[in-house]
Amino acid sequence: MDYIAAAQLYGVSPLKLFFKYLFINTIDPIIAYAMLDFGNVILAAAILNFIGGWATTWPSNTW
């Protein structure tokens, strides 16, 4: 990434480089992936509960 190389040439510290350039650009895809994967977690729990009564018995809820 050119902007990281340019920041290194200007003498930006590695910690500031990480938080200002890398962390900011990677947090949005991580949040988006977590939100999309949350549905799969709910589906897997429902399937496991349907198959074998995973986690609880009938009168109680899993949530």
What gap in Å lies between CA 37 and CA 30, rounded to an integer?
A: 10
Distance between CA atoms of residues 41 and 54, nearest Å: 14
Alpha-carbon distance 3 to 17, whole Å? 10
- The pTM assigned to this predicted structure is 0.53
Instruction: Write the pLDDT tens digit of every residue in 19-28.
Output: 887 888 899 9
E strand or H helix at 58, and its extent? none
* Residue ranges of the chain whose pLDDT lies below 70: 53-63
pLDDT value of position 28: 92
Cα separation of the two ends of the chain = 44
> Encoding tokens for residue 24?
């900011």
Q: What is the pLDDT of residue 34?
A: 94
The confidence score (pLDDT) of residue 32 equals 94
Identify the pLDDT of residue 38.
93
